[in-house]
Structure 1
Amino acid sequence: MTRRYRFLLSPTWLGWLGLCTLFALACVFLAQWQIDRRDQALEEIGRVVSNYDEDPVSYSEVRELFHDPSADDEWTVTRVTGEYLEDETRLVRNRAHAGSIGYEQLVPFSVAGTDDVVVVSRGWLPTDSADGSRPAYMPQPPEGEVEMVMRLKPGEPEIDRDAPAGQLASVDLDEYATEVDRDLVLGAYGQMASEDPAPEETPQQLARPELDEGPHLSYSMQWYAFGLLGFVGWGYAARVQARHDELSDEEDDLDDGRHRAAGVPRQERLREARRRQRLRSGRLTDEDVEDAWTEEHLLRR
């Protein structure tokens, strides 16, 4: 390290460098967090692309998935025959759809030929405008034997939030089973795609998941850039300090007996030191050029 930058070894400057390092580490952590979120979004997109539009398979082929699903099983399409248990219908409150908040209608479905009772989300219901505590309408599922196509969705975690009677805070299958006092399939539930016979009135079908990874990649790059800017700022401050020290040295050189005797103010001596530095570096201002011309053509006559 040159003598010019020896001040960087002082406790103050080393302390600032340490703060820059801590800031950079925090930025790296936040950038990695955004990358992890992007990876999760890409995994979800992959599951939608792989499963959402596939031809339905029989329930017997995917029965175990409803009991013990993995993340890759989400959106698996299955065809199932059975009967709705309408009396045990529940509403999931505070569900977003198309920019609005409403309810999701859940109805248990007894699968024919098995003892399984699978929870089915029949779709979304808007909130009543006059009374926000209930849906605007309550469509009834078809009676008797129903052939349905549905997509597998893992059950949701419990939410520490109260819900009115007949409603749930989330698609918490364990809580649902406790409320209806029935052995439900607890691993996953079905999101209805179609049902036959089709009733006259149905809930609004939930929207297809968007294939959008979000802005996480750009955010991660921004955090990396912020971490780098901390060191850039530290280096710029060091450069300014070094130049300031040079000017102080120049001022000391000019501050000899002749200047003191002549009574040259300190501000003028500092201005002269800065001018000499610009002359050495070749970066002259218009004022420097005018001063040089005046000194050469007028003052020396």
Structure 2
Amino acid sequence: MYRFLLSPRWLGGTAVALVAIVVCLWLGSWQLSRFEARASSHHGSASTAAGPPVSLDGVLTAASPLVGTDTVGKPVSATGRYDQAHQLLVPDRTLDGRQGYYVLTPLRTADGRAVAVVRGWAPGAPGQAAAPAVPAAPAGEQTVSGRLQAPESSGSNGAVAGGLPTGQLGTISPAALVNLLPYPVYDGWIASDQPAAGLTAVPTVQPQGGDGLSLRAFQNLGYTLEWFVFAAFVVFMWFRLVRREAEAVEDRRLGLA
């Protein structure tokens, strides 16, 4: 009944089906390996968040100057002098259910650039007549250790729109600081692990989209499923066509067709 499978037409069709199955399985396996690589990178970067701080210059290099999902929360250190004249308050920041301000002081490094350092959080209602009194930044050369944070955008949690009083900043980002500081700044900012007396350390802030795997990683997983489904569909269609052909052969043998 199945001798027709040895005909040139069916041999060619079977070969094409096998090639399609192999290609689908290979592409699915490749997409799965991409997902596993991204997952390993994500878990690896999360595990380094508890390690010792590394120099900021070693994280934000000339080749990779921007903060990414793999460096958010990474312990870093920077050495320089606080620019007390340009200290800023970032209002409408909630900590433990209370409203307050981030206290941001630029730390100028030896190369002339500065990194925005959030020295801590101070309580205070937004829009109050007087800004909260905060401790002055220490003078002289300082080495600051903390967690690297991503620049905020206008849609970030806690970001405040314009119209703020002098000395206040709504969004912590190089784009917002460039008009307030007379020197270039690093991408991102540092949440200090040694807040000044009267201030509270701020938590690590994940960029919009959360701290899970990236969307592209889940796209890789979706493509993996698609390619494996395509392979299964080819197998299903081949068996269905074989069965239909076998039924047609049997009908002709019995004189029913």
- Interval of TM-score (by shorter of Structure 1 and Structure 2): 0.5 to 0.7
Q: Which residue of 2 aligns with 1:250?
A: 253
Task: Report the Cα distance in structure 2 between the residues aligned to 1:107 and 1:220, rounded to whole angstroms.
Answer: 44
1:77–1:151 contact (8 Å) kept in structure 2: yes
Residue 68 (structure 1) aligned with residue 66 (structure 2):
no
Task: Report the Cα distance in structure 1 between the residues aligned to 2:34 and 2:253, rounded to whole angstroms.
Answer: 54
Q: What does residue range 199-214 of structure 1 map to in structure 2 within 5 Å? A: 199-206=198-205
Residue 150 (structure 1) aligned with residue 155 (structure 2):
no
Distance 1:103 1:228, change over 3 A: farther
Task: Give the count of matched residue pairs.
Answer: 221
What letter matches 2:37 in structure 1? D
Structure whose alpha-carbon radius of gyration is higher: 1
1:193–1:205 contact (8 Å) kept in structure 2: no
Q: Which residue of 2 aligns with 1:45?
A: 43
RMSD: 5.4
Distance 1:250 1:107, change over 3 A: same
Q: Which residue of 2 aligns with 1:118?
A: 115
In the superposition, the TM-score normalised over structure 1's length comes to 0.49
Question: Could you tell me how far 1:249 is from its partner in structure 2?
Answer: 1.3
Task: Report the Cα distance in structure 1 between the residues aligned to 2:112 and 2:189, rounded to whole angstroms.
Answer: 16
Distance 1:114 1:221, change over 3 A: closer
Q: Which residue of 2 aligns with 1:234?
A: 237
Question: Could you tell me how far 1:9 is from its partner in structure 2?
Answer: 3.3
Which consecutive residues of structure 2, in runs of 5 or more, have no partner in the other structure?
163-168
Question: Could you tell me how far 1:65 is from its partner in structure 2?
Answer: 4.5
Please list the CA deviations of residues 51-109 of structure 1 after superposition, one character each: whole Å capped at 9, or x if unmatched: 4233346xxx554654636479932432656437565445799xxx9xxxx99958342
Q: Could you say which structure has the greater relative contact order, defined with CA pairs below 8 angstroms and 6 or more residues apart? A: 2
What letter matches 1:149 in structure 2? S
Question: Could you tell me how far 1:241 is from its partner in structure 2?
Answer: 1.0
Task: Report the Cα distance in structure 1 between the residues aligned to 2:9 and 2:182, rounded to whole angstroms.
Answer: 73
Residue 4 (structure 1) aligned with residue 4 (structure 2):
yes
Task: Report the Cα distance in structure 2 between the residues aligned to 1:139 and 1:235, rounded to whole angstroms.
Answer: 75
2:31–2:224 contact (8 Å) kept in structure 1: no
Question: Could you tell me how far 1:251 is from its partner in structure 2?
Answer: 3.5
Please list the CA deviations of residues 273-297 of structure 1 after superposition, one character each: whole Å capped at 9, or x if unmatched: xxxxxxxxxxxxxxxxxxxxxxxxx
Please list the CA deviations of residues 95-136 of structure 1 after superposition, one character each: whole Å capped at 9, or x if unmatched: xx9xxxx999583422477744212356899xx9xx9xx9xx
In the superposition, the TM-score normalised over structure 2's length comes to 0.55
Q: Which runs of 4+ in 1 moved over 6 A?
A: 122-125, 157-163, 209-218
Task: Report the Cα distance in structure 2 between the residues aligned to 1:223 and 1:35, rounded to whole angstroms.
Answer: 15
Task: Report the Cα distance in structure 2 between the residues aligned to 1:233 and 1:43, rounded to whole angstroms.
Answer: 37
Question: Could you tell me how far 1:229 is from its partner in structure 2?
Answer: 0.2
Distance 1:64 1:43, change over 3 A: closer
